[in-house]
Amino acid sequence: METITPTALAEASGISLPYASQIISGKRTPARSLAIHILRTTGWRHGSIAKLTDEQISTLESVDPWVPRASPEAA
């Protein structure tokens, strides 16, 4: 498995640095849609989607795409 830093993960995927660190360390499991978004933006494949084929990932992505939370400034 490729490695990625929390900073690189946070910047590429738009999640917070602490959350990125928890995902990488295995303390938190991202939603499947976020795990796919992370794969698409960084190339790093989280263990929760490690056994899925590219076709399965594409299908899941089409029915359940990643939708980031609205920022507080947008509210």
Residue 3 or 8, more confident: 8
The answer, yes or no, to whether residue 75 has pLDDT greater than 50, is no
pLDDT (mean) for 66-74: 69
Q: Angle, to 10 degrees, between the axis of helix 6-13 and the axis of helix 17-25?
A: 120
Q: What's the whole-model pTM score?
A: 0.85
Q: How far apart are CA 43 and CA 36, in angstroms?
A: 10
pLDDT of residue 28: 97
Are 2 and 39 spatial neighbours (Cβ–Cβ below 8 Å)? no
% of the chain beyond a pLDDT of 90: 85
What pLDDT, in 10s, does the model give residues 13-47?
Answer: 999 999 999 999 999 999 999 999 999 999 999 99
